[in-house]
Structure 1
Amino acid sequence: MDGTLVDTERYWMAAEEELVEAFDGTWTHDDALALVGSGLWEAAAVFQSKGVDLDADAIVARLTARVREQLNEHGVPWRPGARELLEALREASVPTALVTMSIRSMADDIIAAIPFAAFDVVVTGDAVEHAKPHPQPYLLAAEQLGVEIAACVAIEDSPAGLTSAHSAGAIAVGVPNILSLDDTPSTALWPTLVGVTVADLAALVGPNGSAS
């Protein structure tokens, strides 16, 4: 979701900086980049190491609330081509899942801003034991969709997300946003989703329902 469907990474980075500085710590751009795509509870330990004197649940709640405030203030910043491709997939009756390490309340905010029924399944960071880059989030999504993971095309913008999808056995497509994906295992790397069609995704799936 964050960085692939919506360009909210800058909202997260602002929230992270505010949080650490509220406890008189220092948060750099490199610190923020290191957490892109990671699970929120795993990230909480990093904030605690930077001096944030809150428990993990409180850190997750505070960060999420601040990002949701920015979404309400500035609107939902869609990534180029992402919503158009999602709508085309829905019109073609392709089952879709949202696999995000944001918590469910924030995912619901984004879903509510989409003017069509966008997803059959939603897997969020508060619904899994192991966050990305672990394969569990994508394996759970495929299970809930009732499809084989090898027949799924996963679109990701971060090394953690792409690793999660690839290690789960999905056809993993990287679309870089703020981080390079050149050294991350993937099926394909595309510069953008602008102009990408359902046929382009179908071409990645072989006749036996796996990577072609």
Structure 2
Amino acid sequence: MTSSIPVVDTRMTQGPGLKAVLLDMDGTLVDTEGIWWAAESEVFADLGHVLDETHRSVVIGGPMSRSVGHLITATGTTATLAELMLAINVRFEKLIARGVPLMPGARRLLTELAAHDIPTALVSASHRRTIDVMLRTLGAENFAFTVAGDEVTRTKPDPEPYLTAAGRLGADPASCVVVEDTLTGVASAEAAGCRVVAVPSLVPIPAAPGRTVVGSLEELSVPFLRALSSRVH
């Protein structure tokens, strides 16, 4: 989905504070939270378990091992964590094979960041194979690199993913702005010392010191992010 908001004139964006923008993927740039739930529901249905919608808000936004572990406990299935994670990833990849919808404003934001040479990285709890499929829609050229959940020792909400990304860019985490859609991702970024813009997808996220909450990516621009990074904590 492409926003109608134009790329901002570079003369408006000069400022020393912003060194990098680190972006979450699922629910932030791509509208996949419902697709993940469909994949999980289908896999568990194949095993004879109907997932109650009440579990949906529990499993979004966190590491897959935690989400699937919760569903194992909730259903009492005898399938193992490894078996289920593989099955859900395979099902998800089939569902997104024809492409995935972007969140409103995502394409315009990525285009604007690239136009102003803002170092940008994708930091996700999803596995490498899933990210690589997603990059067909998002465009690998929009990111200096991507960090996958199965490429770090501890994934979100641990700060390691964002510390890893900032380190690879040679940037102080305090000079990086992170865009996230879940409390799990926000917790990871804040623990790493980054500025955070929260764009809640399914679960509300309260405002907090050092955290800005917006309604959609349509509200973000390079001048907005630069102004955010220059604020005193």
Normalising by structure 1, report the TM-score: 0.90
The alpha-carbon deviation at position 163 of structure 1 amounts to: 1.1
| Partner Cα distance (2:92, 2:148) in 1 | 16
1:122-133 equivalence runs, <5 A: 122-133=146-157
CA RMSD across the alignment: 1.9
Which residue of structure 2 lines up, in the alignment, with residue 45 of structure 1? 69
Give aligned pairs, total: 208
Mind listing any 5+ residue stretches in structure 1 that lack a counterpart? none
In structure 1, which of residues 72, 75, 93 is the aligned counterpart of residue 117 of structure 2? 93
In structure 2, which of residues 56, 75, 93 is the aligned counterpart of residue 68 of structure 1? 93
In structure 2, which of residues 163, 170, 182 is the aligned counterpart of residue 146 of structure 1? 170
- Give secondary structure in 2 for the equivalent of 1:37: coil
Is 1:166 the counterpart of 2:190 in the alignment?
yes
| Partner Cα distance (1:63, 1:184) in 2 | 34
Which residue of structure 1 lines up, in the alignment, with residue 19 of structure 2? none
**Pair member with larger Rg:** 2
- Give secondary structure in 2 for the equivalent of 1:24: coil
Q: Is the 8 A contact 2:149 2:155 kept in 1?
A: yes
Which residue of structure 2 lines up, in the alignment, with residue 201 of structure 1? 225
The alpha-carbon deviation at position 52 of structure 1 amounts to: 3.4
- Give secondary structure in 1 for the equivalent of 2:138: coil
Q: Is the 8 A contact 1:163 1:185 kept in 2?
A: no
Q: Is the 8 A contact 1:150 1:211 kept in 2?
A: no
| Partner Cα distance (1:59, 1:187) in 2 | 35
1:47-97 CA-to-partner distances (Å, cap 9, x unmatched) read 322233333232222111111111124x21100001210111011111111
| Partner Cα distance (2:123, 2:109) in 1 | 16
Which residue of structure 2 lines up, in the alignment, with residue 105 of structure 1? 129
Larger RCO of the pair (alpha carbons < 8 Å, separation 6+): 2
Question: Which structure 1 residue ranges, 4+ long, deviate > 4 Å from structure 2?
Answer: 183-186
| Partner Cα distance (1:6, 1:51) in 2 | 31
Q: Is the 8 A contact 1:162 1:185 kept in 2?
A: no
Normalising by structure 2, report the TM-score: 0.83
